[in-house]
Amino acid sequence: MKTLLVANRGEIAIRAFRAAHQLDIGTVAIHTFEDRNSLHRLKADEAYQIGEPGHPVRAYLDPAAIVAAAKEAGADAIYPGYGFLSESPDFAEACIQAGLTFVGPSVRALELTGNKQRARDAAEDAGLPVLQQSPALTPESDLVAFSEAIGFPLFVKAAAGGGGRGMRRVENPADLSEAVDAAMRESLSAFGDDTVFLEEAMTDVRHIEVQVLGDTAGNIIHLYERDCSVQRRFQKVVEIAPAPNLTAAQRDALTSDAVTFAHHINYVNAGTIEFLVDKAGRHVFIEMNPRIQVEHTVTEEVTDVDLVEAQLRIAAGETLADLGLDQESIVLRGFA
């Protein structure tokens, strides 16, 4: 890997440039007209404007424009960061077809984890505990039958995307139809996909996520967990590592299931596997984020592992052993 284009802006672009500089990799920024004075543009070795004035975000969602900028700059790799096209299998495929290294998981892994229902089915196949769930809803779906099989409270959830969009908690059967309609509209607006389903709502739970790293040789390790239970409107507000008040057995079960799932889907690069944990200690798989997360720095603080540098080195063909990483070497150091 000689030159890296970062298909993002702001903090995560600057973070990627820092890791690339540490590895003596050339860096390329992209920016829209409105972002021409943004800090991330100045942190790269060179920068290219994409898109048209008056559309400050659209170009960051344009695979063709980004790939064209990479080719013009002579880049041989693209780092997607988080948000925008980071979870797009079409973008990953476009990079590969253009002869560029996509710094992330395989197209197949993106296709699987990008849909919550497919990911849940894969987790069940891997032997992980999962929530009760309905099939994708259609106009002909029997909402009464599905909801009675699951029980209330329940969630209406978008199959695509994340961040709490296209998600409604329903306490009463009388509110279900309206919630389904609202979730479908929001999901279509946010993700271009109005597929929704019903899912069991565990009550009084914690939200725990496990950071994993995998290489192309099939090696996968975890870097322990983060507690992201403090949320507003299903958006994470505070992340804590390590998660407080987890027993050693609970931590082992969560991290073991995360690694099992990652192996099951042949996962490569950095990813996060998310669980709900109730007061009795029961945990269930809910989804996987096949990318770096905003909160990756919390894990870096307590493991001393540079996750973005690891992403770049793995994408360049190095193994975890080349990085000096194995499960025994990952030790929790303090609190963040």
d(CA 233, CA 97): 39
Q: Report the run of H or E that residue 251 belongs to, with start and end.
A: helix 248-264
Cα angle vertex 83, ends 283, 119, to 5°?
35
Axis-axis angle for helices 307-315, 296-303 (nearest 10): 100
Tell me the backbone φ, ψ of residue 316, rounded to 5 degrees: -85, 0
Category of 295 on φ-ψ map: left (φ > 0), alpha (ψ -120 to 50) or beta: alpha
Verify whether residue 291 is a known catalytic residue: yes
3-state secondary structure of 157: strand
Peptide bond into 129 cis (omega under 30): no
Q: Which residues contact 283 (CB under 8 A, 6 or more apart)?
A: 129, 208, 250, 253, 254, 257, 275, 276, 277
Which position among 9, 41, 168, 291 bears the catalytic label? Answer: 291
Annotated catalytic residues are 291
